[in-house]
């Protein structure tokens, strides 16, 4: 039981005193970058899916 108490005590100490948390501005900036990157990637995947669908439809209609 003492090991569990030590674990949580050290975890709390590390999260409060040793971790370098981002500022609010850094957090907002990173969120915008991740959101834009995710949207770009989603659009690229959408285009690839549409191109593959078109290619397969065209191929199947040939036969």
What is the number of other CB atoms lying within 10 angstroms of the CB of residue 8?
Answer: 10
| 32 within 8 A of 24, measured Cβ to Cβ | no
Confidence of residue 5 (pLDDT cuts 50, 70, 90): very high
Query: For residue 20, what is the DSSP state?
Result: -
pLDDT digits (tens, 9 = 90+) for 49-61: 999 999 999 999 9
| 38 within 8 A of 30, measured Cβ to Cβ | no
Pair of tokens at residue 22:
């981002």
In this predicted structure, the answer to whether residue 63 has a pLDDT above a threshold of 90 is no
In this predicted structure, the answer to whether residue 1 has a pLDDT above a threshold of 90 is no
pLDDT digits (tens, 9 = 90+) for 12-43: 999 999 999 999 999 999 999 999 999 999 99
How distant is the alpha carbon of residue 46 from its chain centre? 18
């Amino acid at each position: 039981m003492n090991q569990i108490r030590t674990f949580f005590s050290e975890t709390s100490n590390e999260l409060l005193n040793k971790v370098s948390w981002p500022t609010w501005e850094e957090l907002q900036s990173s969120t915008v970058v991740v959101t834009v990157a995710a949207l770009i990637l989603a659009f690229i995947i959408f285009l690839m899916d549409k191109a593959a669908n078109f290619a397969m439809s065209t191929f199947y209609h040939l036969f």
